Amino acid sequence: MQIWTRRIYDPPGEQDGNRILVDRVWPRGVSKDQAQLQAWHREAAPSTRLRKWFAHDPARWDDFRQRYFIELDAKPDVVAPLIAATRQGRLTLLFGARDTQHNNAVALREYLLLMANRTA
Instruction: Tell me the pLDDT tens digit for each residue of 14-36.
Output: 899 999 999 999 999 999 888 99
Which amino acid is present at 69? F
Band of the pLDDT at 120, cuts 50, 70, 90?
low
> What is the span of the domain harbouring residue 28?
3-119
What total number of domains does the chain contain? 1
pLDDT at 38: 92
